[in-house]
Structure 1
Amino acid sequence: MTGGAQFIRAEVGERYEVFHTDCPARGVVDHVTSRWGVWVLISLRSNALRFYELRESIQGISEKMLAQTLRALVQDGLVWREVEPTTPPQVTYGLTEFGRDVGEPLAELLDRITRQLSPRGAG
């Protein structure tokens, strides 16, 4: 797979200038931390899902926003997309190795937050 910002290498010992507006890593961070990007990555962490399964797993997301978010995450190399030539086509999405690497700390963050919250109705 080619094309995502993760394949553009900085000089040895150097890092991306993430605070610079032209930094390619900045766009990936924007997509991951977008309103729906986090939820897509967390939803796909256990297994690949078809488009409608993914939409049902993320309450409140519209088809349009899910499609836009998935398009960006696929382009960034975080999510893979497989189309089965059926009528209608069945499209399945899953995390790439890069997506799993990025999604793991997001899932850990969600777990930490939910462990610290009081149960609903308590307190």
Structure 2
Amino acid sequence: MARKAKAKQAESGAIDATTLQKAVAEYNQEKATASEHQGLAGQAIKQVAEEYHLDMKAFRFVLGLSRMEETKRQAVLRGLIDLADKMEFFASVDAFDDLVSIMETICERARSAETSEAAPKPDDVVSHLIN
């Protein structure tokens, strides 16, 4: 066993200095580029959030949802609405709050899509929420 471990060490130690230096330099360059892109992406969403007065946490949540596959996204949305309702987060909504009208608009749009043959049928998760 000791010979196998030493053989693996010898193999991994077989990299020459030039190849190692090139690999490290390439890694550092890619890391710097990734950091630069991350910074630009952060600036872009910050600018949009400020310009349109978006809640940053909600915006980031939507960005995360946008990267999910449709089935997973619908499950997360259904779970969020269901759990928020059970926690009575909607209990403090008053008649002057636009949340109720936003939710009504969403439901009306989903119901009209159900009756329209040209429109795609909503996902089972969405259907569960609006029925």
- TM-score, normalised by the number of residues in structure 2: 0.27
Greater per-residue helix proportion: 2
Greater Rg over alpha carbons, structure: 2
Q: Which has the higher contact order (CA 8 A, sep 6+)?
A: 1
Greater per-residue strand proportion: 1
